[in-house]
Structures are given as C-alpha cells and as structure tokens.
Amino acid sequence: MHPDWPTGLFIDGGWTEGTDGVTWTVTNPANGEALAEVAVAAPQDVDRAVAAARRAFDDGPWPRMEPLERGRLLFRLAERIREQCEELALTDTLNIGKPIRDTRGFDVPCAASLFESYAGLADKIAGKCFGTLPDNVTMQFREPMGVIAAIVPWNFPLTNAAIKLAPLLACGNTVVLKPSEVSPLSALMLAGLAADVGFPPGVINVIHGTGGETGSALVRHPGVDKITFTGRHQTGAQMLEAAKVGMKGVMLELGGKTPSLVFPDAPLEHVVNGVITGIFYNLGQVCVAGSRLLVSEQQHDELLDRIIARVAKLRQGDPTDETNHLGCLATSQHCETVRTMVDRARQQGARCLVGGGSEDVERADPQRTGTFFPPTIFDGVTADMELARQEVFGPVLGVLTYRDEAEAVRLANDCDFGLMANVWTADGTRALRVARQLRAGKVAVNGGGALRPGVPVFGYKMSGIGSELGFDEAIHEYTCSKAVVYSLATEKSAWPE
C-alpha cells in the first residue's frame, strides 16, 4: 500500500487539473512500475499560478502578517511533516529509489527542522538606522521581495522543497514551486499540509512539468521577481539567460566535485566511514558528494584496502527494505549517464577496483530489475581525466595521490566547481591553513559536513551564485533593501541658491 497521492496542480489554495489535460507518469525506478499520473502545467496554468502568487503578495495578508504569526504557521507545518513522516518517507523512497532508512531517518526530519528553524527567523528581520548627520535620519528597511520561482531537483524531493520554501516564506514572500517532473509527489503532499494548517491561498503554489516547457515558462514570466534554482550548472546558465526578462534576481545552487583531502596523521577508521558516506550515501546523487579522494602516496594502499573491505559489506537492494544501505538511481536515463561516464573513465586509463556497472548488481541477483548501480571505485585517476573534473552524480569515487600538502591543495582546487571540500587531519593548524586555501563554499574538517539550517551553502566558481540557507544570507537573498531619508532641517535651501 502507498499513500493516496494528490495528482493535480496546487494553485491559489486548491487543486486543479492542467488546462490541456496532459499528464506525466511518475514511476518507481526500483521496478519500473507506474505510481501516479500527475497533471502537467500548460503555459496558461503557469500564468494562473504566478497570478495567484502575485495577488497573495500584492493584496493578501502574508507579507503584512504579524511576523510571529508567519512563524507559527511555519512551525505548524513542521509539526504536520513530522506527523506524516511515514507517508512522506515512503513516497520519496518509492519515487526515487532512496532507501527507506534514509528518507525516514534524514529527509523527512530534515525538512521539518528547516521549517522549525526558519519559523524563528520571521520576527528577527531587522533594518538599520543611520543617525550620524545632525539634520536627517536615514532608515534602512528590509522588505519581502515578492513572487519567487523555486525549481528543485529530484535527489531529495521533500528536503529540497523545504530548503527553498522555509527561508523565502519566513521573509514574507509568496512562491511558485516546480519540483522535478521525476519526483513531484512529496512536494504536492507538502502543499496540501500547508493548506491544512492555514496558509493563505496563493502563498504556496505547486506546478509540475518538464524544465524545458513548464520551467522555462515559469522563470521567464514577468510576474516573477526572483528565481531560486538547484540543479545542473548547464541549466543554471539557462536560468541566467531567463532572468534577463524583467531583470529578475537569481540564486543558483549548482553542481559540485567535492575533494576529500586525507593527510597522513588522520585517523583512518574515521576517514573510511566519512569517505564511504560521502560518496555512496544516496548512491552519490548529492551535490556535495565526496567524489574525489586525495590521499598521500605513503597511505594510499592501506586506506584503499580498508575502504574496499567496508564497501563489500554494504547491502544494496529493495529501497523499502530498511536493512539495505543502498537503493537505486532515480531514473533509467541517469543510470545510463553514469554508466557512460564509468566507461569513459576506463578508456582514459583509470583502474576500476570495485563495481563499474549495473551488470555487477545483476550478477549478484539475476532476478533484480530497475536502475541499480553498484558502488564503484577508480584508482590511478589524474587531474586531467573527466572523472576528476566532471560531476558524475552517481556512486563513483575517483582516487588521486599527492606528494605533499601544497600538491594536495593544488589538486583539490584544480576543478571548475567549488561547493564543498573535506579535510581529514589531526593537526588543527594544518586543518585551518588548508581550509583557508581551498576554493569551496563549505569545508568540513574531520566530518561534520551534514546539512544544518543555519549554515549557509555558498558556491565558488561554477557551483553557483548566492547562498542557500543561513539566516543572514536568507534575509539578503529573499528581501529587498529600502532606504528612507528623513530630513530634520527646518529650513530648506532651494537650488540653485
């Protein structure tokens, strides 16, 4: 049995069908079975959603609401998410093949925590007063920005929606959310929960369809004030182009190629756990997946032996079985993309030590179908190889060696992405020295890189523009600054005297 999923568009506080009557089949990647037929938004439906958000912002109560009341609604939504944990967890597990132990243990609780955390931000958005001149006072106000177009990928359907919605709603904006066409179900459930707890109509609107059609119509819509997007850097470039229509603001959280720098003094047992989690959690379908392992030549063999031994104990299979560590990739198309990049890594001279193709999973269990791909490790990777430079977004680890600290830092920075980096060392001075040299928006030292609501995620280089999460950063991203100059002078000099 599965939850009774909504399949319409959520616009202006209610469910509606698409104007054209077109639907999209949502499937279970673990077995290829159809889960639901969801309505696809036509351009007219995009217009309706933006218009609803526009009315809710321009004329509705949300941006003018007592901030504490906005916070209470966000907190009530968090409580409803926790109450619906099993249904939401099973939904994302069936929809994208992520193990139920992960959706139940991280995805749903994290989404609730995000709304809880930003509920407390709503009444703490403050401006400034500049009163240094004797004849005037200048006040700076922070005001809600307007209608936000939020577009999220399929890898963490519910969590990604919460990452966008919690801060922008706390700041008083309204939103049109477009989840990935691959994984729209939990976002629709979230919209229904928001209506249940009393969000005013039009504050949250959820539409779905492909990025090329529905997404493009949304981000180019003149009624949208800002675009916030998480996804591939190629699509991010298209968002920048779309933002020219109306000179919209843009926040982009794009790809990554996270390096893990392991220094000889690091405790290997902790490193092994961190490396395996960093690259094989959610089968590497994570923007901060630790896909590059940089290890010293003297430590290389021992560390790899330990990692390979631990990987052999990972259980991969039915995502709804809570004993399995690994599920499957989200789509057959993406599975083929990962397989192609693995084949190219072999062609370019990297040595495959573990895994390497979905046929490995099939040999282990000939009855298994679906988009299962095994944990894969390549050794002998060099900085010029595609595997060291391009995001695979799959369970593929590339191992590079270095001779000294300077070379480790150079290799880590020799990449077009800069979302996150990991440093493993027992030397605190070295940890901070290296962290300051790395071109990445987030550096985790000896682990601790898990998502936290108040910690900003900032992309260097091709990893993005602006900051996802963070409290000060959210205020900057989702409010406008207005200066009011109040003259105290009793006599005004007329120009040109």
- Nearest Cα neighbor of 375 from 277, 257, 280, 274 is 280
Residue 166 has pLDDT above 80, yes or no: yes
Asked which of 106-110, 359-363, 458-462 is least confident by mean pLDDT, the reply is 359-363
**Residue range 439-470, pLDDT digits in tens:** 999 999 999 878 999 999 999 999 999 999 99
DSSP tally for the chain: helices H, then strands E? 16, 24
Question: Is 335 in the active site?
Answer: no
Distances (CA, A) of 62 to 56, 173, 194, 495: 7, 8, 13, 43
**Nearest-10 crossing angle of helices 85-96, 67-83:** 70
What pLDDT sits at residue 367?
Answer: 52
What pLDDT sits at residue 358?
Answer: 60
**Would you kindly state where each structural domain of the chain is located, as residue ranges?**
9-254+463-483, 259-445
- Nearest Cα neighbor of 444 from 465, 425, 470 is 425
What pLDDT sits at residue 9?
Answer: 98
What is the DSSP track for 313-341? T--B--TT-TT-SB---S-HHHHHHHHHH
The helix or strand, by DSSP H or E, that contains position 94, with its residue range, turns out to be: helix 85-96
Residue 497 has pLDDT above 90, yes or no: no
What pLDDT sits at residue 448?
Answer: 81
Residue 365 has pLDDT above 80, yes or no: no
What pLDDT sits at residue 2?
Answer: 75
Chain mean pLDDT for the chain: 94
| Partner residues linked to 464 by β-bridges | 253
Q: Is the peptide bond before 496 cis (omega within 30 degrees of 0)?
A: yes
Class of domain 259-445: alpha beta
Model pTM score: 0.95
Calculate mean pLDDT across residues 206-219.
95
SS3 156: coil
Percent of the chain residues topping a pLDDT of 70: 97
Residues 475/142, Cβ–Cβ less than 8 Å: yes
Catalytic residue among 116, 181, 253, 468: 253
**Residue range 280-317, pLDDT digits in tens:** 999 999 999 999 999 999 999 999 999 999 999 999 99
Query: Sorting pLDDT into bands at 50, 70 and 90, what band is 359?
Result: low
- For 494, the token pair is 């007329």
Query: Sorting pLDDT into bands at 50, 70 and 90, what band is 261?
Result: very high
Distances (CA, A) of 409 to 295, 312, 427, 433: 11, 30, 16, 10
What pLDDT sits at residue 488?
Answer: 85
Percent of the chain residues topping a pLDDT of 90: 89
Residue 230 has pLDDT above 60, yes or no: yes
Residue 366 has pLDDT above 60, yes or no: no
**Nearest-10 crossing angle of helices 108-119, 157-170:** 0
Question: Is 253 in the active site?
Answer: yes
- For 144, the token pair is 């809600």
Q: Distance (Å, rounded) from C-alpha 268 to C-alpha 134?
A: 64
- What CATH number does the domain located at 9-254+463-483 have? 3.40.605.10
- How many Cβ atoms from other residues are within 10 Å of residue 467's Cβ? 18
> Phi/psi of residue 431, each to 5°?
-60, -50
Beta strands in 33-86 (DSSP E): 34-39
Q: CB within 8 A of 233, min separation 6: which ones?
A: 254, 255, 417, 462, 463
What is the DSSP track for 161-211? HHHHHHHHHHTT-EEEEE--TTS-HHHHHHHHHHHHHTPPTTSEEE----I
What pLDDT sits at residue 148?
Answer: 98
Query: Sorting pLDDT into bands at 50, 70 and 90, what band is 495?
Result: confident
